[in-house]
Amino acid sequence: MSRRRQKPPIRAPKPATVPTDVDALRRSLEAMEATLRRIEAEGADAYMKRRMAEMDEARLVARGQALEAAAARAKAEAERKALSDLIDKAPGVAGWLMRRARKRAGL
């Protein structure tokens, strides 16, 4: 009789449960079915008109955000230029050090 400790029997790995994926797919399917029922009840024309209105609203929001981003970029460029001009005009050793640091940074 062997004095070695016997290994426990190998068990089959437990199947990984993925309820989140199944639940997400189920919710997505229910949402699509609800949309289809709404289209059937209202008619395709009413659904398409409402959807086009939503898309127009989203387009206007995106355009507004693009304009805000362009304004912010212009403001940042103006501030960078002003700072660069101040560094160029800075007197003495401190100005020289700032110009040298800017040159070494590649700016």
The CA distances from residue 94 to 66, 74, 100, 104, in Å, are 39, 29, 10, 15
The structure tokens listed for 26 are 């189920």
pLDDT (tens digit per residue) in 47-102: 888 889 999 999 999 999 999 999 999 999 999 999 999 999 999 999 999 999 99
CA atoms 26, 30, 33, 39: torsion sign:
negative
CB 33 within 8 A of CB 40: no
Domain range annotation of the chain:
20-105
Residue 13 has pLDDT above 90, yes or no: no
- Residues 6+ positions from 98 with CB-CB distance below 8 Å: 87, 90
pTM of the model: 0.48
